[in-house]
Structure 1
Amino acid sequence: MEGADDHLDRFVADVTTIVQSQCERWESYADIETLICHLPIDHLTFAAHDASAPYTEPYPIAIHVRAALLTEINGWDETALHDHLRTHPSLRQNLGFESLPNQSTFWRTWNERFSEALRDAIQECADAIVKGARACKVSLPDRIGSDEADESEDDTPPEHQFVAEKTDEVWQQAKPFVTDAFALKRGQNWQIHENAFWEQHTYMGMCEDMYARSGPASFSLDTSRGNIPTGSTHRYQIGKLSVAEIREMLRDTTRMLIARARQNGELDGLVFTAIDVTKGFPFTGDIEDHEDDILGYKDGNDYYQWAVLKIVGMDVPLVLDAIQREEDIEERKQKAQDGDVDTSETVVFETNHPYVTARDAGDQQMDGKEFVHMIERLIRWCRHRWGIENGFKKQRHFMVRTTSTERDYRFFNFAFACVLYNVWRLVDLLVKLAIDGENQSYKPRVDANQFLTVAKQCYGLDPPD
């Protein structure tokens, strides 16, 4: 990689030299963006720093490097870049894009396609471009900050403004993750854009006790879309997704949210995870033909129940996976309680579980000290997982109500609620970091109701998609 780094050093040096030379003749350019569009870097492949090499994807990496320079110079994220190029099609074409990539493409290019060394080099080049422009008195757009700004002024926005800004920022980033990861199985003659389904489901999940049957009427009053699915169409199309497909969509979205959290130094080491079971809304109707899916509960009602794998402890409590709980799980649990399965690698937190025993692995009686250490260890582990119970209560805030008896549709409601829950926890993390500088406690600074109030105002991006 040493030779590859040398290439990047030359790239930074060449861009710096070109900028200094061109800025001295800045009358040739309408603005700094035009200079970026004309940087002579098309011959560079950055192969050693391109995770997609030797494939170029839709566009060569040099075009994305230009776009990244524009992003860094302006201090934007991929959402702001996408919006700017959408409103300035001539700039998009001058950069080399025949059509406008979506936001998630820009995000993946920067975070996954570019190497860390290339990202650092682009940031160095962006700094050099701004410095060169200022040194030569080249006019910069107002959105690019000035060195002459009074840094002594305290322009820190109040906490509620942080909440609103971070909610908008994270949701605008997360929505492309959702629309890329989630996909319907429709024919090619569709008339309603697929994003309308996800926006509508998000909207209904953010409204208390809203059903898919009646929710579209409310959504139609708030959305700028002219064509949205009816309640029956919404349920029918989503109901065609299988549990396996829904789980994979949930996982894909969670992977991208975790990558976003890692940008702030979170979730970059070992974490505690826990598995627990929760129930959906009560099942109403005849349970015939659903005997294997519908499980009773201690309150006497019947429910679909879901098993969840979740990060617990002091880390960002994201839901990693979910699956429907079926009768055979109950059978396996009973076997564990009866001592018929090996439980050496797992612990079920029940006081009557055979693992909580006064005998060691060799079936010898433990002495008092060993037994106390075992109990203390179990208690420490159990303390790490307490948050999963509280998380279940919050996830219900994001679930669309339904009277449907279809297992797969109900599972989708739960899985999509997990996505919205994850977005909320990521918003809370970024607000904590912005205000406190660190993630100091498990308790959220942005409660679920605050998030719902703000997020409902920015649940989607304006069409066209």
Structure 2
Amino acid sequence: MTATPDSKQAVLDSLSESHREWPYSTNHDTVNNDPWPLAWDAAAFIEEWFSHPEHTDVEEAICHIELDPSGFGYDVTDWHFKQPPEPLLKAHLLRIVKGWGGETALHDYLDDNTELVAALGFGNGLASKTTLWRVWNENRLSDDHKQVVRTIGQVLVNVAREHGVPAPDEVFYPDPSVDAPNAVAQDDLTVRDRTIAKTRDVWKQAKPMVTENYQLPRGKNTEIHQNAFFEAHAFMGSREEMYAEDGTVNFAADTTRERVQTGSTHRHHLHKIGPTDARQMHRDATRELIERARRDSELVGGVLVSIDITKSNPYSTKKKIESDEAGNVTNKWLLGYKNDDKKSTEFYFQWASVQIVGLDIPLVLDAIPVHRGLKRATIVDRLLESATDLVDVEMAMMDREFAHDAVKDVCDDHEVYYLNPGKMRTSERATCTRLRRQGKLIHIESDEDTDSSTDEGRTTLTDFTSGEEDSDEEAGVVRKRVYVPAINAERTGDDGDDDSDETDSEDGDNESNDKDELRQELLHEFSEVKDSDAEEIEQLFGDVIDEVRDEEDKRKLPGNKEDKDRFMLFESNHPALEIPENSDNGEEPMSETEKAHMVSRVLRKYKHRWGIENGFKQIKSFRVRTTSMNPEYRFFNFLYACTLYNVWRLTDLLVKLELLAESEFEYKPLVTADLFLTIAKEYNIVGLDPPD
């Protein structure tokens, strides 16, 4: 718990200024007359409590809320009852907040949390289950006072969610009655059983979030409920090779609805949902999902996100596509190329998305359609604007095509760190040659160390041993360029400057061995940064052929391919990447090993970026098949699949938590998309139509 006497006093001081009548209930008869001032007092306290930046826990707030038992008509004296009344009231407030209907779950939870029992005020230990039951069921509280407690609980949950404090619904807690096995695998019957249960529970909660936030642009006098459209779309997306024309017929046979739209009507209305509306509906559904599912360790604090672009399946056509005089397709949304036969053309649509990656819930936060000429900086700006509104983004990771200064500016504007591979131009190749000659494995420089006006001579550092300059911390976030060993490199055998005298010594051999070991350690750290096979990695760092070195020396040309391939360049503004101090200031310079460990702590995060590629593959499992060339329908189709994908990933997380399988399945789902969809179809969950 993070609250302190000082932080609570700060809340009370702020409360006395913002709500001068607080506590309002002291001047009212809340027992026989009007109990609602009790709710007003609690709501005012809750609002000020969560406004304090250090108060980020719902249970802690319950411990500090003042619930005067006499104001609730709770007049059982101490000699009649061993337990003090205020902790009993707070315990039931906790039960209401957690969504538990009875005292058994409450008692079991408190029995496992002795610190919480003491914080609630149970000085002599937890009350019995019978005592907890009597408080609520033997007329100790009137119906009006019970409703006040329920109201306080709902206010507490709502305000907590508004401030990003975890307050999940009951369904998003693991079932405590499940006995977790010692080990689990994806094909275990236990996984299937829990997936069935959690899919039912989560979809029951998530479907209203989807249907309430997705809206059709239709007239008022409609006979078919709009939910039928979204239910049908979910139904069709979970079936292989099912298109809207035939899919609505299958949906009509499966649903309990009396009337269902035709395939042409289905497409017609979904065509009218523009990208702006589609994005807003997906974000609203995702926001509500996050608010109701956010737990103590998930989606709390800074998250890692990845931004990337994917494209739809190619659409082949022999129809004439309008082009301008230069031969470019006039439809800016259509991207493609001519086949070798010069007669047919394959077209596709592109979408850029921002997804949570790493060890958190891998949700798709937002997406935008990509048209010809759309700048990468504009894509990042739009996606980060919405992503930072939904969650606290620590760092955005992108591939090399986003390595532009304008993209960096956008990340700085949104106060988000970035990490991406850099482009190896002439000056960067020259840097690689100098690093190789110096026998260095790691090099960090800031953008202030380079001149971006020309390719030639961009790198101004000439002494890689002691010439790294200090960064100006007061100038804001410093942009760094980091050179690390590439996994497809070969070892040159150079231990120092090419111009230095070669000496044979035991210390020199040890130093060479240490560098080789360090290089192999770094290689392991960065092995997932590039998509290479394990066999390639085993064959790394052989001796460079003498002829290559001789040819380079004769040409006196830095930046040859062999040197470039030894290193990989990353760009980042993360503060954990420190520019090494100049050794001339009297302090011990940072060693190669210290640099390597510092760099690896940041750059190893980049391997999480591949999660977005896996996400794109899995989203296709939820997408309705189509041959439509309508960009609005195509984009809606993709984004609605992202919404269903989010529900699946949340289900997967809950099954992992119940079966204690987070460690074995940190980087991949325990519940596969195929299993989720199979169960959803088998139990008629996808497309389920509760009363509207």
Query: What is the aligned residue count?
Result: 370
Are residues 1:385 and 2:637 paired?
Answer: no
More helix by share: 1
The aligned residue for residue 416 of structure 1 is 640
Residue in structure 2 matching 1:444, options 669, 672, 678: 669
1:293 to 330, 333, 352: 333
Residue among 176, 186, 195 paired with 1:163: 195
Structure 2 residue aligned with 1:365: 461
Q: Please give the secondary structure, in 2, of the residue aligned with 1:183.
A: coil
Q: In the aligned structure 2, how far is the partner of 1:406 from the partner of 1:353?
A: 40
For residues 336-374 of structure 1, the C-alpha deviation after alignment (integer angstroms, 9 at most, x for no partner) is 889785747555546547996747422223765875466
Q: Match of 1:451, as an amino acid?
A: F
Separation in 1 of the partners of 2:40 and 2:160?
Answer: 9
Q: CA deviation at 1:51?
A: 11
Query: Residue deviations 1:187-234, cap 9 Å, x none?
Result: 110111111111111111111121111101111121111111111111
- Tell me the amino acid that sits aligned with residue 322 of structure 1: A
1:447 maps to a residue whose letter is: T
The whole-number CA distance in structure 2 between the counterparts of 1:461 and 1:336 is 42
User: 2:258 maps to which residue?
Assistant: 226
Superposed CA RMSD? 4.6
Counterpart pick for 1:217 among 236, 249, 257? 249
Could you list the per-position Cα deviations for residues 244-293 of structure 1 after superposition, in whole angstroms to 9, with x for gaps in the alignment? 01001111111122223313530101111111011113234444376311
Match 1:201 to one of 226, 233, 240: 233
Could you tell me whether the CA contact under 8 Å between 1:395 and 1:421 is conserved in 2?
Answer: yes
Equivalent residue of 2:626, what SS? coil
**Cα distance change, pair 446–342 in 1 and its aligned pair in 2 (3 A):** closer
Question: CA shift at 1:455, angstroms?
Answer: 2.0
Structure 1 segment 95-174 matched on structure 2, within 5 A: 111-112=157-158, 158-174=190-206
Asked if the contact 1:310/1:388 (under 8 Å) is kept, the reply is yes
1:291-440 to 2 correspondences below 5 Å = 291-296=331-336, 301-329=346-374, 341=406, 343=408, 348-349=420-421, 351-352=423-424, 358=431, 360-361=446-447, 362-363=449-450, 364-365=460-461, 371-372=482-483, 375=570, 379-436=603-660, 438=662
Q: Closer, same or farther in 2 for the Cα pair 1:231/1:338, shift >3 Å?
A: closer
Distance of 1:460 and 1:41 partners within structure 2: 44
The residue identity in structure 2 corresponding to 1:365 is L
Give the conservation status (yes or no) of the 8 Å contact 1:274–1:309. yes
Q: Which shifted more, 174-183 or 278-287?
A: 278-287
The alignment-based identity, stated in percent, is 39
For 2:373, what is the secondary structure of its paired residue?
helix
Query: Which of 449, 452, 458 is residue 685 of structure 2 equivalent to?
Result: 458
- TM-superposed deviation, 1:47: 5.6
Task: Report the residue type matching 1:294 in the other structure.
Answer: L
Q: Secondary structure at the match of 1:160?
A: helix
Which residue matches 1:273? Answer: 305
The separation in 1 between residues aligned to 2:289 and 2:427, in whole angstroms, is 36
Give the whole-Å Cα distance in 2 for the aligned partners of 1:153 and 1:428.
16
Whether 1:256 aligns to 2:256 is no
**Which amino acid in structure 1 is aligned with residue 633 of structure 2?**
Y
SS of 1:158's equivalent?
Answer: helix
Can you list the C-alpha shifts for 1:100-157, whole angstroms capped at 9, x where unaligned? Answer: xxxxxxx9877325789xx9xxxxxxxxxxxxxxxxxxxxxxxxxxxxxxx9996999
Q: Which runs of 5+ in 2 are unaligned?
A: 1-10, 16-21, 48-92, 106-142, 145-152, 166-175, 182-188, 323-328, 340-344, 379-399, 412-417, 432-444, 451-459, 469-481, 485-568, 571-598
Which one has a bigger Cα radius of gyration? 2
Which AA in structure 1 matches 2:648? W
C-alpha spacing 1:51/1:297, structure 2 compared with 1 (3 Å): farther
The answer (yes or no) to whether the contact 1:250–1:416 under 8 Å persists in 2 is: yes
* Counterpart contact for 1:68–1:110, Cα < 8 Å: no
Report the more deviating stretch, 107-116 or 241-250.
107-116
Deviation at 1:318, TM superposition (A): 0.6
TM-score by length of 1: 0.66
Specify whether residues 75 and 404 from structure 1 end up closer, same or farther in structure 2 by C-alpha distance, changes over 3 A only. Answer: farther
What is the Cα deviation at residue 160 of structure 1? 1.8
CA contact (8 A) 1:306 1:325 kept: yes
- Does the CA-based 8 Å contact 2:353-2:366 persist in structure 1? yes
Instruction: Measure the CA separation in 1 of the matches of 2:678 and 2:266.
Output: 24
Task: Provide the residue aligned with 2:218 in structure 1.
Answer: 186
- Higher mean alpha-carbon deviation, 183-192 vs 275-284, is at 275-284
| Contact 1:273 1:309 survives alignment (8 Å) | yes
Question: What residue number does 2:40 align with?
Answer: 46
Q: What amino acid maps onto 1:161 in structure 2? A: D
